[in-house]
Structure 1
Amino acid sequence: MSTPPVLPPDPSPPVAAWLTTQPVGARPELIAEAAREAVIVGLGVSTREAHEVFAFVTDTTWLLVERGFTTIAVLDNQRVADLYDRYVSGEDIDLDRALAQAWGPWQVVEMRDALVRLRELNRTRAGARVRIVGVASSRVLSSDYDRVVDLLAGIDAGTAVRVEALLDVIRVAHGSGEHVLRARGTHPGTPFVEMARTARAHTARLAPSGERDAALELLDAVVDFHANAIGVGHDMAREEHLAADRLLDHHRRTGERIVLWEGSAHIAAHPGPMLGSHLRTALDDRYLAVHITFGQGHITRATIPAPRADSIDARLAGAHGERTIDLRTPPPATVAGDLGRSWPTRLISGLYDPADDDEHYFDLPSLTGSFDALVYIPTITPIRPLADE
């Protein structure tokens, strides 16, 4: 009797075959169903620059609102978020002016459309209105820079011109971040906090007056904003903890259930310094962490290639088609072990360079320890910047 040939081992991990057995489709209703007992749902995105990803976030949010969630939390300046909230509540707020002061990723048609839809929803809604809150710590707006110049113009025109020249350079950090400008080669060289301090020094030389003191108060906040920027004095762990505390305090005070729009690295629930970890510790399974990833496609400034071969994104791509997977549903034992191990997943930030795509991956210590649900979109197209209209 002949000896059977020895076959090489299957190079694909068990999860690869299991993914092909999962129902095809981007299904917001599955996330809404998984969130039955949750008080906070984190919708984590691998990129904020894709139309399809944004659409899944909003489609899921509308379903969650139908099922009792009444607060949407976004990473943005708290004063800007307050303008969003007043707008969706029906107040006479200039939405375009509010979005002009927003964090860069929110200055898009998709965000404006979402806010318009929420305003209409609140107008016709019989129950509690949907609110918007901001989780970023900053309370400095780009309009504060204009206010400083206006105050100084009434005191000393020359000082106003000098301060305005400095502020016009550094205010762009509210859109992209100083670290992003450095990476893209568009940073002027002088640290923005130094330019903010110079603007304050010019102002401090003026004779005391109510206008000067008001300008100095605003400039103190501007200096603090730039002194705590990423790559300067930013304390990520502290900011993440404070953001989690804001969300938890909002829930405890109001009883409202919250949908959080954030990046996947912040949403991930595995132990560590990030926002999602604090929420999991405080809420256990009442926090639902969702990872929305993709295969390839285009964003405004780059073409994104197929994902790295060892990533969970590549395994999803190999299953062909959209997927929405509740990771808490027990899979076969062999698959459970594979899902529980470390997996890389791609995250697209403002620093993304397609020439170095392999470097833009985040290692999850455990897929099922990090997320409760997984969403995969094969191909993305760019979001639509408001500036292009």
Structure 2
Amino acid sequence: MSEMTDTAAHPIARLLADHGPVPFDAAALRELAASLAPATVVGLGESTRFSHEIAAIQDQLFRELVSEHGFRVLALQDSADVAARLDAYVRAAEHAPATAEEALATAWRPNRTAQTAAVLDWIRDFNRRNETDRIRVIAVKPFQATTADYDAVLDAMRAATHDPAAFEASPADLGTRVTEVTGRDLVPGPATGPSEPESRDTPAGSGAATGLRAPAGSGVPTGLGDPPEGAEAAGPAATEGQDTSSGWPAIAASSAADRMTRIAALFEVIRTAHVTDEHVQRARGMYSGAPFAELARGAAALLDGLPISGDIRERMALIVRYHETSVAGRGSFAGEAEVWAGAIIEDHARHGQRIVYWDGIAHVSAAPFTLGMSGDQVAQPTIGSVLRERFGAGYASVAIGFDHGDLGVVVVPPAAGDFLDHELSLADALVHWVDLRPEPVRAALRVPAKMRVIAGVYDPARDESAYMTVDSLSDSFDALVHVRSVSAVDWLA
């Protein structure tokens, strides 16, 4: 610990030198899990979704909380329809997906890893051995649109034109069609650049636009979705001052065949968000046109007056909501704290079972935060802060972070000197944990802290701005787990 003592100018460094950290071995795992066991909900937060080691620690803590302390629910950041598939798989329900990989096929991209699949297989095996005391999987997001909803709308439009062959998407003239429909140019990025794992993530027949990739040599993750940690939610600003509603009623007056052509052109653009989030596309120069939410509303307007069923209109409404509530649509990484926390609160009220919640550290934090890259320094509410308000000490929050490493699609340098992660990296142990709850640690660490966050729009050239800030470290988290060096998760094909 001598290095930490030498850098004791920072209060966090001084306290870490005096009170720990403790190597995170098997005994420490059991000790941390036991200390979390009295909680009703435990938030296990990751500073990046791309690390094998961080995912493994979440997994180990989850299994310990289940096996030894009676937790029976895993809550994930995903939509309710995805959670229903995952839950059916772990219960071996009739007509459930045959494998964990198949169950994860429609999941949010950061959840589609071999590590998540292994957790689902473990839960399924646990449930087989404990049929009267099973683990459930839930989501914090409501039902969301999938690519199947776009296809259903187009099929209904084909039926309305009485021409089953009407309009087959052709990316070659996509830009022209979108300009005609929206009055704005589609500006795709170069058709080169990092392809791992994005190239494996485009469903066959999805209609995803081609040539919408990060610039060559950018060295940034693509196609990984994006947790709301540490980046710029570019999007609405790109069209500031534009009228986002004018023109659609006039377009809706055209023929059914023309409307279908226009809707298909719009869908060709906005459905790419199911492969690479809109804000990631914008931040990487992959797309700079009209907001996807505006295009989705335009497509919905084109259905007016057509003999379309209520089911199809509901699917279209899901598509609109998907884009309006995305990071780009909201213009914020904070998520819908009340809604997402409400899913956990409601599940506990209904079933009375204790819950482990996996998400980014900005979500599980028990106090508001600000993002270094966002440009908006107003503290954002978190799911964890809502849970802390509801459950009090019954909500426990753990931040799992790292200093540096090769995440497969990007190499992250050592953290800047004013980051908490830098102070933690100076400890002797390669993996260690710090309990923030005992006094005088909790009182002394009610101080601000900058914490590394690596998201889908991360740029190593701007590493010093990839962070979140909390006003009080010990009010935000009950424990810290730190990994000095990390490697990449294993992405599913």
**Structure 2 length normalisation: TM-score?**
0.70
Give, in whole Å, the separation in 1 of the partners of 2:267 and 2:308: 21
The answer to which structure has the higher helix fraction is 1
Q: Which amino acid counterpart does residue 104 of structure 2 have in structure 1?
A: L
- What's the counterpart of residue 252 of structure 1? 349
The DSSP-based 3-state class of the residue aligned with 1:73 is strand
Residues 317-368 of structure 1, C-alpha deviation per residue, up to 9 Å, x if partnerless? 10132112222133xx5x6555221111101111211110010111121221
Give, in whole Å, the separation in 2 of the partners of 1:316 and 1:127: 43
Task: Report the CA distance between 1:198 and its aligned residue.
Answer: 3.6
The DSSP-based 3-state class of the residue aligned with 2:45 is strand
Which one of 248, 263, 267 corresponds to residue 163 of structure 1?
263
C-alpha contact 2:334 2:363 (8 A) present in aligned 1: no
- What's the counterpart of residue 14 of structure 2? 14
Residues 16-68 of structure 1, C-alpha deviation per residue, up to 9 Å, x if partnerless? 4236x433125432331112211100001101111111111111111111111
C-alpha contact 1:166 1:199 (8 A) present in aligned 2: yes
C-alpha contact 1:137 1:239 (8 A) present in aligned 2: no
Is it true that 1:77 corresponds to 2:183 in the alignment? no
Give, in whole Å, the separation in 2 of the partners of 1:82 and 1:103: 14
- Unpaired runs of 5+ residues, structure 2, are 1-5, 168-256, 369-379
Give, in whole Å, the separation in 2 of the partners of 1:338 and 1:182: 41
- What's the counterpart of residue 366 of structure 1? 472
- What's the counterpart of residue 91 of structure 2? 89
Which one of 272, 284, 287 corresponds to residue 184 of structure 1?
284
The DSSP-based 3-state class of the residue aligned with 2:367 is coil
The DSSP-based 3-state class of the residue aligned with 1:386 is coil
Is it true that 1:241 corresponds to 2:244 in the alignment? no
Residues 272-327 of structure 1, C-alpha deviation per residue, up to 9 Å, x if partnerless? 62111111111111111000001110213210111111221111110132112222
Task: Report the CA distance between 1:217 and its aligned residue.
Answer: 2.5
Is it true that 1:140 corresponds to 2:114 in the alignment? no
Q: Which amino acid counterpart does residue 448 of structure 2 have in structure 1?
A: S
Is it true that 1:286 corresponds to 2:394 in the alignment? yes
Range that drifts further, 235-244 or 187-196: 235-244
C-alpha contact 1:39 1:257 (8 A) present in aligned 2: yes
- What's the counterpart of residue 4 of structure 1? none
Give, in whole Å, the separation in 1 of the partners of 2:273 and 2:29: 34
- Unpaired runs of 5+ residues, structure 1, are 1-7
Range that drifts further, 353-362 or 237-246: 237-246
Shift in CA distance, 181/138, structure 1 to aligned 2, threshold 3 Å: farther
Task: Report the CA distance between 1:117 and its aligned residue.
Answer: 2.1
Is it true that 1:225 corresponds to 2:322 in the alignment? yes
Give, in whole Å, the separation in 1 of the partners of 2:8 and 2:31: 32
Give, in whole Å, the separation in 1 of the partners of 2:293 and 2:66: 41
Which one of 293, 315, 336 corresponds to residue 423 of structure 2?
315
Is it true that 1:329 corresponds to 2:328 in the alignment? no
Q: How does 1:368-387 map to 2 (within 5 A)?
A: 368-387=474-493
Residues 89-116 of structure 1, C-alpha deviation per residue, up to 9 Å, x if partnerless? 1123235454232112112222222212
- What's the counterpart of residue 38 of structure 2? 37
C-alpha contact 1:14 1:338 (8 A) present in aligned 2: no
Task: Report the CA distance between 1:203 and its aligned residue.
Answer: 3.6
Give, in whole Å, the separation in 2 of the partners of 1:9 and 1:132: 44
Which one of 289, 297, 302 corresponds to residue 197 of structure 1?
297
Q: RMSD between aligned alpha carbons?
A: 2.4
**Structure 1 length normalisation: TM-score?**
0.88
Task: Report the CA distance between 1:247 and its aligned residue.
Answer: 1.0
Shift in CA distance, 234/247, structure 1 to aligned 2, threshold 3 Å: farther
Give, in whole Å, the separation in 2 of the partners of 1:76 and 1:322: 29
Shift >6 Å, 4+ stretches: 235-238
Q: How does 1:84-163 map to 2 (within 5 A)?
A: 84-91=86-93, 92-94=95-97, 95-156=100-161, 157-158=166-167, 159=257, 162-163=262-263
Give, in whole Å, the separation in 1 of the partners of 2:43 and 2:296: 35
The DSSP-based 3-state class of the residue aligned with 2:72 is strand
Task: Report the CA distance between 1:215 and its aligned residue.
Answer: 2.5
Give, in whole Å, the separation in 2 of the partners of 1:227 and 1:357: 29
Task: Report the CA distance between 1:161 and its aligned residue.
Answer: 5.8
